[in-house]
Structure 1
Amino acid sequence: MKFYSYILFFLLTSLGFSQAEETFDKANTAYADDQFDQAIQLYNSVLDEGLVSAELYFNLGNAYFKQNDLANAIFHYEKALQYNPADQDIKENLEIANTQTIDKVKEAPESNLKSVMYTITHALKLDSWALVSIILSISFGALMIFYFRSPSAKGKRRNFSFAILFLVLAIASVLFGRFQNQLQESQSFAIVFENQLPAFVEPNPRSDINFELNKGTKVSLGSTFRDYIRIELSDGSKGWVKISAIKKL
């Protein structure tokens, strides 16, 4: 009985994926025909099925951008980068969208080491780092076999040197992937979905206003209090805004 249940589950899952793929193709066709409202509706229906990918978020961001909905465009570009941080097309479109936002927030200076580490760890996706570490580990094992079976001392030294190199690279790839994962888990961001959104000194609408934000601005999230959440901009500015005015990435 379990066997037939597994078969039924597999068939239903396959059917769901095929339907989602068909909907995705229809959305792409609608986008190509400049029917952006329909494309957005179809892309979102795929998301509602629980199927996500960098390509889906990227295409949805493009559709919103064509509708001049910068907040949603930036939000979905950022979501696409979470799934594929090395994609240059996503980065370029996100940069273009950010240039059209009202708020121009400068980046706070950071250390060269931190910048280099961020660039390296986000050069590949998490699953790509895992694949690289597996390939390097297998290569290390193969070279160690060649080391023990090599008849000459010169061959042993060469194989051992390469084996150590591949081992170091395998460990490094694991650490880079782990660092990227920890960075994503430790940092929480959101996109602002209101214009002239006041950022208060305290979580109280009667307190002083530090600054105002507009649609499309990316903020870092902190603690919450009732209907307010503490946010921080990339230049270090901080304040409290309404939770309902932002959308968490």
Structure 2
Amino acid sequence: MTFRIIVISFNLGNAYFKQGDLGQAILNYRFAEKMSPRDADIQANLALARSQTKDQINIEGELFLSRLTKLTQRWLTVNEMAIIALNVWFFLALFFIIYSHVFVHNDNLRLVLQYTLISIAVFLVFSITLFGMRLYEEITQPQGVIIASAVDITSGPGDQYVTEFTLHSGTEVRVIEVRKDWVRLTLPGNQLQGWVSHDAVAIIVDEF
């Protein structure tokens, strides 16, 4: 079932890209990427579509951990990150039990086992931290794509508010808040925030 959804999303992305609809193309490529992040064809077509968007967003302002979390999206799904963390935790617990019940006479071997145990523990903390940050971002600030050809981003949830800036089809954003027919969004690695009509942005559905 998952493979079928990936194929459908990828083909829809290709069809929209041929029509010149970058917003819907990137949206569908991102759907496919979430379920199959290591697929070379998806990554290549997504990169091509992104290169043609009008709003080229500078992400230099992003924190290191945010960049690292984003990097995991290129290689792992949220479910895969959870499985890795669980496996490392299980391996650490098993290794600790073995280490605690096996008396080692050789000091050098005991030292090696201790360092190995510490290394596994550090990797576990690292993997859980990345998983937690990824999950937190996906839940509290889901990703979205501008699907309108061009839309004004206002300072408040309504047409009566001042226009802060304009975004174009295909621009990827983070959704901070949804209020009736309006969505508050922010740009990746940027302090710019604003409100846009719900019809102008599509939220990328999580795979979990």
Range into which the TM-score falls when normalised by the shorter chain: 0.7 to 0.9
Could you say which residue in structure 2 is the equivalent of 1:242? 197
**What are the superposed Cα offsets for residues 8-33 of structure 1, whole Å, 9 maximum, x if unpaired?**
xxxxxxxxx6xx97xx4xxxxxxxxx
**Structure-2 change in CA distance of 1:196 and 1:110 (3 Å):** closer
Could you say which residue in structure 2 is the equivalent of 1:196? 150
Structure 2 stretches of 5 or more lacking a match? none
Contact 2:85 2:124 in 1 (8 A): yes
- Equivalent position amino acid for 1:165 in 2: S
Distance 1:121 1:214 in 2: 24
Give the TM-score of the pair, scaled to structure 2: 0.74
Matched, 1:149 2:99: no
- Equivalent position amino acid for 1:240 in 2: W
Matched, 1:179 2:137: no
Give the TM-score of the pair, scaled to structure 1: 0.64
Contact 2:140 2:176 in 1 (8 A): no
Distance 1:206 1:139 in 2: 58
Structure 1 stretches of 5 or more lacking a match? 1-16, 25-51
Structure 1 position 75, deviation (Å):
0.4
Count of residues paired in the alignment: 201
Identity %: 24
Any idea what SS the aligned residue of 2:121 has?
A: helix
Contact 1:193 1:216 in 2 (8 A): yes
Distance 2:84 2:179 in 1: 43
Distance 1:201 1:138 in 2: 49
Superposed structure 1 runs of 4+ greater than 4 Å apart:
84-89, 120-123
Could you say which residue in structure 2 is the equivalent of 1:127? 79
Structure 1 position 151, deviation (Å):
5.2
Distance 2:200 2:100 in 1: 62
**Structure-2 change in CA distance of 1:105 and 1:153 (3 Å):** closer
Contact 2:185 2:193 in 1 (8 A): yes
- C-alpha RMSD of the superposition: 3.3
Any idea what SS the aligned residue of 1:220 has?
A: strand
**Structure-2 change in CA distance of 1:91 and 1:152 (3 Å):** same
